Structure 1
Amino acid sequence: MKAVLLVVHVVLAIVLIGPLTAAASLFPRYAREAVAAGENRTGPLSVLSALHRISTGYAVAGIAVPVFGIATASAMGVLGDWWIWVSMALTLLAAALLGWAVVPAQKRIMELLQPPGDLAAVSPLLPRLGMVTGSFALVWAIVVVIMIVRPGSSTGV
């Protein structure tokens, strides 16, 4: 059962968190393209719409990753280990960044880009969004490192 839980946890992390992180990271780039395109922003807007849908949809589905992670840690008897708690705290931080900064900023930018739109109001939002999405990706990278190089792992590292 431990192996099944671990496999499900890892597969869900790859299938859900990977695309979510990529979509969130690409959003500022395509928002810049939409601003640069001016009146001809239909193409970049459709890409932004897809990236925003991925960000929101995969965020909701991504809740399964920590659920299976907790179940896996419990089954393995490591739920009380400090590295699990650090990983859970970082996961909460990533969720907070996504839910209170990334997705609302994406939504606001999408609203501003809808014709006729206020293109001038979008540009000042993009550096912060880029920083927050980069922080979101960095937090997930740290969680992955902790999960791979954990205390007592069988890798011998």
Structure 2
Amino acid sequence: MTVAASMFPRCALRACDGGEREGRREGTATAVLLHRVCTGYAVAGVVVPVFGIATGAQLGVLTDAWLIVSLVMTVAAAALLGLAVLPGQRRLLALAEGAATKEAARPTASRLSMVTGMFNVLWAVVVVLMIVRPGSTTGA
């Protein structure tokens, strides 16, 4: 999902490039596909904290700092995704489908790229915490 979210602004801007109709349609179709991938993974990603809590309970580490921090960061990443990334993608898609120029869409794409980068960093830190588990005594 992080790859699709990162690729989206560039593809949506390409759709706004103002080129021939076929190129615009193709760029918009790619952006729509990337948005669907992001939305699908966002919906499926709801189970990640559920499995995290279940696994933490099984291992007896629910009160370990690494798990609490990773759960808080997962909630923050989910909020960023649901409140900023996906709506930003929808706004940029609307601009692309509405035949906006690249210059008109660039500020929206820039904001979306920044927010997507923040989401990606949060998600990467969560992945590292889940793999490294600093201070864990479960033998990993």
TM-score by length of 1: 0.80
**CA distance in structure 2 between the aligned counterparts of 1:126 and 1:32, rounded to whole angstroms:** 7
TM-fit CA distance, 1:39: 4.6
Alignment of 1:127-138 (within 5 A): 127-138=110-121
Q: Give the whole-Å Cα distance in 2 for the aligned partners of 1:23 and 1:58.
A: 10
**Superimposed CA distance per residue, residues 59-114 of structure 1 (whole angstroms, 9 cap, x where no aligned partner):** 01111111111100011110111111100110011001100110000001111111
Distance in structure 1 (CA, Å) of the matches to 2:16 and 2:47: 35
For the residues of structure 2 that align with 1:97 and 1:62, how far apart are their CA atoms? 13
Q: Which has the higher contact order (CA 8 A, sep 6+)?
A: 2
**2:100 is matched with which residue?**
118
Q: Which moved more, 1:29-38 or 1:53-62?
A: 29-38
Distance 1:37 1:89 in 2: 42
Q: Is the contact between residue 35 and residue 123 of structure 1 (CA under 8 Å) also seen in structure 2?
A: no
Of 67, 71, 74 in structure 2, the residue corresponding to residue 88 of structure 1 is 71
The 1-side partners of 2:38 and 2:46 are apart by: 13
Moved >4 Å (runs of 4+)? none
Deviation at 1:36, TM superposition (A): 2.0
DSSP 3-state at the match of 2:61: coil
* Contact persistence 1:70–1:79 (CA under 8 A): yes
Percent identity between the two aligned chains: 50
Give the CA deviation at 1:37. 4.2
The residue identity in structure 1 corresponding to 2:5 is A
**Displacement, 1:121?**
2.8
Corresponding residue of 1:36: 17
Q: Distance in 1 between matches of 2:104 and 2:51?
A: 41
Within the alignment, does 1:23 sit opposite 2:8 as a pair?
Answer: no
Q: What TM-score comes out, normalization by structure 2 length?
A: 0.89
Between Structure 1 and Structure 2, how many residues are aligned? Answer: 135
Q: Does 1:45 align with 2:37?
A: no
Contact 1:112/1:122, CA 8 A, preserved across alignment: yes
- Quote the Cα distance in structure 2 between the aligned partners of 1:130 and 1:67: 28
Alpha-carbon separation, structure 2, partners of 1:84 and 1:56: 26
Which residue is 1:55 aligned to? Answer: 38
Partner AA of 1:73 in structure 2 = G
Distance in 2, matches of 1:39 and 1:114, equals 14
